[in-house]
Amino acid sequence: MLSTMFEPELLEGMRPISRAEYDRMVEVGILDEDDKVELLRGVIVKMSPQGEHHSALSEWLNNHLVRSLDPSFSVRPALPFAASDWSEPEPDFAILPAKRPSLAHPQTALLLIEVSDSSLRKDRRIKLGIYAEAGVPEYWIVNVKEMTIEVYRDPSGDQYASKQILRDGDVARPRMVPGVEIAIADLPR
């Protein structure tokens, strides 16, 4: 868990925080919405601030996804995803069935999307593994600097068996979410 993020000698004296402990910290007010943090592999990690381009892309994607999906799907923008007992990231978008068995943070999703600018390394190295381990069938990274969408499919352990980079002229279509098509050339620049 922590050893996948830090060198072994840096781990001495560190104790990971479970998702239950993290949620309790939020519940009692130790952490609040102003903290802008997420739990990744037992570590509370500060989230990167959103620049103008990240915000514009997120707004565009939110509007596009909501308009494209039929009512049997739900779009959860920047909300907690209960990936494991040790991770509760907040992906920019989670697409899941609209009907859920409880009000708890979802533990499964059909598609997770991260809009990445300054967080690109974290989204590729840490979150990708967390999402693959959680069995998320498809994970997209919208690379703000390159204006591409990295499509990861077919989770296997802490990796995805398939990776595709979509560029201008390509169209992103999630496998398990019919009706969504995102032409890379249409992304706001």
Domain coverage including residue 130: 48-186
CA distances from 146 to 46, 114, 165, 173 (A): 24, 14, 10, 19
Q: What is the pLDDT at residue 132?
A: 98
Mean pLDDT check: name the lowest of 23-27, 30-34, 131-135, 147-151.
30-34
Q: What is the CATH number of the domain that holds 149?
A: 3.90.1570.10
Each residue of 41-97: pLDDT tens digit? 999 999 988 889 999 999 999 999 999 999 999 999 999 999 999 999 999 999 999
Confidence bin at 188 (pLDDT 50/70/90): very high
**184's torsion region: left (phi>0), alpha (psi -120 to 50) or beta?**
alpha
Q: Please count the structural domains in the chain.
A: 1
Alpha-carbon span 180 to 125, nearest angstrom = 27
Alpha-carbon span 103 to 156, nearest angstrom = 28
Please indicate, yes or no, if residue 140 is contained in any of the structural domains. Answer: yes
Please indicate, yes or no, if residue 13 is contained in any of the structural domains. Answer: no
What is the rounded average pLDDT of the residues 169-188? Answer: 96
